[in-house]
Structures are given as structure tokens and as C-alpha cells.
Amino acid sequence: MKYSLRKKIKAAAVVSSLLCAAALAPQAQAASDDAMSGIHAGDVLVRLRAISIIPNVTTSQTLSALNVGVNNAIVPELDLTYMIRDDLGVELILGTSRHQVTSSLGGLGGVNVLPPTLLLQYHFNHAGRIRPYLGAGINYTLFYNNGLNAGGQPIAISNHSFGPALQAGVDVQVTRSLFVNADIKKVWMHTDASLGGQSLGRLSIDPVIVGLGVGMKF
């Protein structure tokens, strides 16, 4: 009788152990998935994108009469995001491009644009593998290496501007530290032009910037 009781106790213990293991298995898998995917406070995200810069040009005064336009450009872009909370990050975007400025009289030359942009981002589904985000912030644009001219006379432009910036994008985790990224931004930037001391008006570039790239989570 005692032997039978011991067998029952052992059997109950084995069954109990198996049930506990079965119950804990999904939790262990979920923990593994969380380690594999997701972002958390203190993480640093580094992205490298190829971006297409599509200007949405508006002009004033003489520049409007000359139908001044700015060409598209495709360049690399680097950005760094620091997660200050699980779902909240601060991103700094770095990149530079050169654009040709045209008019009804012909080409006016080229100018380089350096627009570092600081954005506050909200990340949806931060613990998942597919993580959409929205961002808003401020852009500072530096215009340099100005090669604009008309009739052999240089066109002077203001060197910098400030403006708002908006962003939407998504990160898709591929491995523990690697993800792919798609991103779209709207940035407001402008410069004032003059020729021989006479104002030609304002050139607002205000591009839409579409990017695809990869990122690393640290």
C-alpha cells in the first residue's frame, strides 16, 4: 500500500513538472522574442539610408518671374536615435546634397545644402518587430559652396534658415540588432537671393524626403 502511494506521489510530481514546463514554455519564447525584437529606454539606433530629395519650390518677386526651379537629388543620409523612454526617442539627421537651380533664362548654377534636423519621435509597438513611428522637430539649413550666377554676375544668397520638420517611418527588425527602415520627411527651408545688391526674392525649397535603408540597434 505504501509502495503504491509512493508511486502515485511520484507520478503526480512528474505530471506537475510537465505541466509547469508546458506553462512556462510560451513565456520563455515570449521573453526570447522580446530580446530578439523591440527597443527600450537607453537603446541607440543608427540608420543609413539612401534618400531622394524632392523640392517643392515656391518663389517671390523676380525669382517668380524667372520660373526658378530646383532639381531633385539622391544622396546618403545618416541618423542617430537615442531612446529616452521605451516609446520616445530623439533623432539627429545628418546629410548634405548639391542642387542645380534653373530658370526660364537657363541654368543659374549649383549650391550645396546641409540640413541637420532634430526630431522628437514616438515609436508605436516598441516591443515588436514592426515598429512605426512619427516625429516632429526643427531643421537648420546651411547653404554653402554657392555657384549661382546670372549673366556672369554672382547671385548672393543668405547662408542659413530655420524651419519645422515632420516625419513618419517604420523599422522592421531582421535580427537581434539589424533592422530595415523606410522613412518620409517634410522639411521647410528657404534662402533669400540678391544680384548686385538688389533683392531677387525668396527661394523656398521645402522638400519631401523619401528614404530606404538599414539600421543597427546598440
Residue 17's pLDDT is: 44
pLDDT tens-place string over residues 133-171? 999 999 999 999 999 998 889 999 999 999 999 999 999
Buried b (16+ CB within 10 A) or exposed e, 105-132: eeebeebebebebebebebebbebeebe
Rounded average pLDDT over 120-141: 97
Selected residue with higher pLDDT from 105 and 61: 61
119 with 165: CB under 8 angstroms? yes
CA distances from 57 to 21, 32, 200, 202 (A): 64, 49, 15, 10
Calpha distance 16→10 (Å, rounded): 10
Q: What is the pLDDT of residue 93?
A: 96
Domains along the chain with CATH numbers = 37-217 (2.40.160.20)
pLDDT of residue 55: 97
For residues 27-44, give the mean pLDDT. 67
Q: What is the mean pLDDT of residues 118-124?
A: 98
Instruction: Answer yes or no: is pLDDT of 15 > 60.
Output: no
| Mean pLDDT, range 61-73, rounded to an integer | 94
So what's the pLDDT on residue 34? Answer: 52
Please state, in angstroms and as integers, the Cα–Cα distance from residue 53 to each residue in 41, 94, 138, following that order.
Answer: 31, 13, 17
Cell 510530481 locates to: 13
Q: What pLDDT, on a 0 to 100 scale, did the predictor assign at position 152?
A: 85
DSSP state of 9: H
Task: Specify the residue for cell string 510537465.
Answer: 18
pTM of structure: 0.80
Is the pLDDT reported for residue 21 higher than 50? no
pLDDT of the residue at 182: 98
Mean pLDDT (whole number) for 114-138: 97
Query: What's phi and psi for 4, nearest 5 deg?
Result: -65, -40
